[in-house]
């Protein structure tokens, strides 16, 4: 049997691995560039600032932007205090034990629940049981269940990274526990917490399955949170799937990808910047 020289075979494997990695990154750039080439020419101020006309065949996407903002706002309004509160409890008020295990299991499991199941759940509870129908409120609440685990995890990590000594200093100055948390710990952990929130905004922007069953897909400009609304991602899905208008679909996709790129990159930059500053 012939055996390859180990140095040579390492060279071959290394090249192969780099080719695979390169093509993966290539796929990513291809996706982004393809969407931009097809979609960016469709963008204009009018596209962003007028409402869709004729099911989205013409006009712009203003109503969908507004619906997206509403939904994310509602979701964060509920998920942030719950997530941050959980993180504070886990880090400051309890020791590792059965209770923290249960809470962590719940968080991890919730993170793994697919969006279609969350959509079913939101539909059963908010749309039907509570009788709110398809509405931004139903959608936002369901979305908050999706964001909760991310916010808990990132907040917990950043609170844990605050040096224990800061707490001791505050205590030794006679500052109570809660004030120590709000005035010393949370300000020091803020960058990480904000990064977590920003990343969950990016996730919400691209989400469809959760929203389509809970917020519906009305194209009207939403005037209250009890109305149905269509987000950017849902709008794109409907445009593309029903073949309503390819140029409009590409334009919407470009906005989606652009938003997600900007949000992710800025979150990443802030984190890098702050990590440098602290170390």
Partner 1 sequence: MYGQEFSLQSISLAIPKSQITGIMGPSNSGKTTLLRILNRLTDLIPDILIRGQVLLDGVDILMPHYNVNLLRARVGMVFAKPIPLPRSIYENLTFGPRMHGVKDRRILDERVEQSLQAAILWDEVKDRLFESALKLSGGQQQRLCIARTLAMQSEVILLDEPTSGLDPISTAKIEEALRNLKKDYTIILVSNNTKQIARISDRVAFFLMGDLIEYGPPDMLFTNPSDKRTEDYVSGRFG
Partner 2 sequence: MKEKIIEKILTLLAFSAIGVLLLITVFIFKEGLPVILKAGIKDFLFSAKWAPTKGHFGILAMIISSLAVTFGSIVMGVPLALACAVTLAEFCPPRLLVFLKPTIELLAGIPSVVFGFLGVILLVPIIREYLGGPGLSLLAASIILAIMILPTITSISIDAIQAVPLLYKEGALAMGATHWQAIWLVILPAARSGVVTAIILGMARAIGETMAVIMVAGNALKIPSSLLDPVRTLTSTIALEMGYSAGDHRTALFAAGMILFIFIMALTILANLLMRKK
Please report, as residue ranges, which positions from 172 to 191 form the binding site for partner 1 (by CB under 8 A). Answer: 172-176, 179, 183-184, 188
Cβ atoms of residues 272 and 98 within 8 Å: no
Binding residues for partner 2 restricted to 195-214, rule: CB under 8 A: 202-203, 205-209, 212-213
Which of partner 1, partner 2, none interacts with 89 (beta carbon under 5 to 8 A by kind)?
A: partner 2
Q: Does residue 28 interact with partner 2 by CB under 8 A?
A: yes
The answer to whether 242 contacts partner 1 (rule: CB under 8 A) is: no
When asked if residue 65 is in the footprint of partner 2 (CB under 8 A), the reply is no
Judged on CB neighbours under 10 Å (0-12, 13-18, 19+), 142 is buried
Q: Are 255 and 43 in contact (CB under 8 A)?
A: yes
Interface pick for partner 1 out of 30, 34, 171, 273 (rule CB under 8 A) = 171
CB of 21 to partner 2, least distance (A): 4
Cα separation, 43 vs 48, in Å, equals 7
Q: Based on CB atoms, which residue is closest to partner 1, 83 or 191?
A: 191
Angle subtended by helix axes 6-39 and 246-278, to nearest 10: 120
User: Which residues make beta-bridge pairs with 58?
Assistant: 53
Identify residues 69-108 at the interface with partner 2 (CB under 8 A): 81-83, 85-86, 88-90, 93-94, 102-103, 105-108
Q: Which residue has the tokens 């979701």?
A: 75
Residue 173 C-beta: closest distance to partner 1, Å: 4
Both structure tokens of 158: 């950043």
Considering the complex, what minimum distance in angstroms separates the CB of residue 151 from partner 1? Answer: 23
How many whole angstroms separate alpha carbon 230 and alpha carbon 3?
62
Q: Are 42 and 61 spatial neighbours (Cβ–Cβ below 8 Å)?
A: no
203 to 12, 121, 199, 256, 278: CA distances (angstroms): 38, 19, 6, 11, 27
Residue list 149-168, contact with partner 1 (CB under 8 A) = 163, 165-166, 168
Nearest distance from residue 164's CB to partner 1, in Å? 9
- Pick 45 or 98: Cβ nearer partner 2: 98
Query: Considering only residues 212-231, where is the footprint of partner 2 by CB under 8 A?
Result: 212-213
* Site residues, partner 1 (CB under 8 A): 95, 163, 165-166, 168-176, 179, 183-184, 188
């Amino acid at each position: 049997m012939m055996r390859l020289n180990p140095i040579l075979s390492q060279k071959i494997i290394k090249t192969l691995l780099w080719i695979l990695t390169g093509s993966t990154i290539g796929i990513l750039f291809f996706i982004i560039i393809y969407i931009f080439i097809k979609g960016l020419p469709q963008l204009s101020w009018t596209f962003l600032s007028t409402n869709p006309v004729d099911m989205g065949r013409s006009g712009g996407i203003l109503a969908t932007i507004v619906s997206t903002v509403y939904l994310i706002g509602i979701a964060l309004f509920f998920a942030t205090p719950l997530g941050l509160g959980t993180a504070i409890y886990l880090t400051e008020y309890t020791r590792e034990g059965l209770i923290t295990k249960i809470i962590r299991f719940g968080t991890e499991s919730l993170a793994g629940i697919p969006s279609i199941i969350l959509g079913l759940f939101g539909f059963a509870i908010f749309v039907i049981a509570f009788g709110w129908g398809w509405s931004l409120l139903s959608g936002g609440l369901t979305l908050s269940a999706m964001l909760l685990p991310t916010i808990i995890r990132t907040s917990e990590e950043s609170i844990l990274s605050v040096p224990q000594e800061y707490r001791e200093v505050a205590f030794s100055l006679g500052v109570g526990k809660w004030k120590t948390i709000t005035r010393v710990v949370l300000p020091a952990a803020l960058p990480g917490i904000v990064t977590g929130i920003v990343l969950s905004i990016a996730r919400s922007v691209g989400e469809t399955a959760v929203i389509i069953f809970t917020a519906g897909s009305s194209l009207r400009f939403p005037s209250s949170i009890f109305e149905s609304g269509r987000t950017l991602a849902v709008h794109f899905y409907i445009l593309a799937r029903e073949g309503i208008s390819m140029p409009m679909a590409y334009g919407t996709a470009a906005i989606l990808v652009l938003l997600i790129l900007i949000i992710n990159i800025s979150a990443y930059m802030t984190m890098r910047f702050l990590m440098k500053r602290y170390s």
